[in-house]
C-alpha cells in the first residue's frame, strides 16, 4: 500500500496483492522456521520486489490474524504461540520496518476486525474522507468463516463502543464479533445436528445440498473443531476416523 507524503487525507492506494500458495496459516502443522518460510516466502518475495530499495527499511509489515487463529487458540494455545513467534522471527529477517514484533504480528480482536471493515466500507462508499463529518454512515456486517462482525455508529451504546478520530472527525462506533457464528462454523453446527437427529453415519439427508451431490466429512473434521466441541456434545460411540456421508 502506498500514499503520498503530503496526502493530508491519508487515502492510500494498493499497488500489489500477494497471496500465499497454501491454505490458512493453521495448515502449517509444525511451526518451524523452515515451514513458516516455505509458507510465506513466495508471496513475500513478490511483494518486496515492488518496494523501491530506498524505501524497503522504512516499509512497515503487519500480520493480523482473525477468527481462524482465535478458534485455534481455544484448543491449542501453545501451538498458536509457537506459530506467531516463528512468524515474527521470519518477518524480522526480511529487512522491512519491524520494530514491534508483538504488535505487528498478533491475533486481532473481533471488535478490531469489525472496526477495520467499517472504516473500509465507509471510505469506499465515499462517506468519510469526502465529508468533514457525514450526517449518515453505512453500517457494516462481515459474515466470515469463523465469526460474524457487526459495526455501526452508536454514540449511546454502553458496551463494545469505540471512539475513533478519522479525518479530523470523531466517531463512536459499536463493534461486536460473534465467534463461532461465521459461515463455516455455522455449517459445521448444522451438520452436527443432522447427524444427531438421524443417528447414522451414511446417507444422511441434507435438504440444503443439490440433488445428486454427496458430501463426506470425518468425525475429526467436525466434532473436534473448537466451536462444535464447545457447544455440542460429541458422539461418544464413534472414533475420529468415522466418515459421515450427506446426500
**Whole-angstrom distance, CA of residue 88 vs CA of residue 105:** 6
Q: Do residues 113 and 177 touch, judged by C-beta distance below 8 A?
A: yes
23 is in an annotated binding site: no
Residue 175 gets which letter from DSSP? E
**Whole-angstrom distance, CA of residue 227 vs CA of residue 201:** 21
105-107 and 63-65 strand pairing: parallel
Q: Which grid cell is 46?
A: 513478490
212 is in an annotated binding site: no
Residue 109 gets which letter from DSSP? P
148 is in an annotated binding site: yes
Q: Do residues 120 and 142 touch, judged by C-beta distance below 8 A?
A: no
Helix H or strand E encompassing 86: helix 77-91
Catalytic residues: 113
State the SS3 of 28-60.
CCCCCHHHHHHHHHHHHHHHHCCCCCCCHHHCE
68 is in an annotated binding site: no
Residues in a beta bridge with 63 = 105
Q: Which of 55, 106, 67 is nearest to 83 (CA)?
A: 106
139 is in an annotated binding site: no
**Whole-angstrom distance, CA of residue 126 vs CA of residue 59:** 27
**Known binding-site positions:** 145-149
**Known binding-site positions for ATP:** 145-149
Amino acid at each position: 500500500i502506498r500514499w503520498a507524503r503530503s496526502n493530508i487525507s491519508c487515502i492510500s492506494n494498493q499497488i500489489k496483492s500477494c497471496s500465499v500458495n497454501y491454505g490458512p496459516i493453521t495448515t502449517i502443522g509444525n511451526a518451524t522456521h523452515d515451514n513458516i518460510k516455505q509458507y510465506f516466502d513466495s508471496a513475500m518475495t513478490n511483494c518486496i520486489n515492488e518496494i523501491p530499495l530506498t524505501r524497503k527499511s522504512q516499509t512497515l509489515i503487519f500480520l493480523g490474524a482473525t477468527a481462524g487463529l482465535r478458534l485455534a487458540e481455544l484448543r491449542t494455545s501453545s501451538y498458536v504461540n509457537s506459530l506467531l513467534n516463528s512468524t515474527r522471527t521470519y518477518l524480522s529477517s526480511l529487512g522491512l520496518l519491524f520494530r514491534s514484533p508483538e504488535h505487528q504480528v498478533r491475533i486481532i480482536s473481533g471488535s478490531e476486525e469489525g472496526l477495520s471493515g467499517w472504516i473500509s466500507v465507509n471510505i469506499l462508499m465515499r462517506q468519510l474522507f469526502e465529508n468533514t463529518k457525514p450526517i449518515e454512515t453505512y453500517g457494516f456486517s462481515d459474515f466470515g468463516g469463523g465469526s460474524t462482525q457487526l459495526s455501526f455508529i452508536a454514540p449511546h451504546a454502553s458496551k463494545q463502543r469505540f471512539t475513533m478520530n478519522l479525518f479530523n472527525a470523531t466517531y463512536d462506533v459499536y463493534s461486536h464479533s460473534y465467534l463461532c457464528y461465521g459461515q463455516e462454523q455455522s455449517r459445521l453446527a448444522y451438520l452436527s445436528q443432522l447427524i444427531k437427529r438421524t443417528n447414522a453415519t451414511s446417507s444422511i439427508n441434507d435438504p440444503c445440498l443439490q440433488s445428486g451431490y454427496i458430501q463426506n466429512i470425518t468425525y475429526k473434521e467436525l466434532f473436534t473443531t473448537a466451536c462444535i466441541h464447545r457447544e455440542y456434545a460429541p458422539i461418544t460411540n464413534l472414533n475420529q476416523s468415522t466418515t459421515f456421508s450427506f446426500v
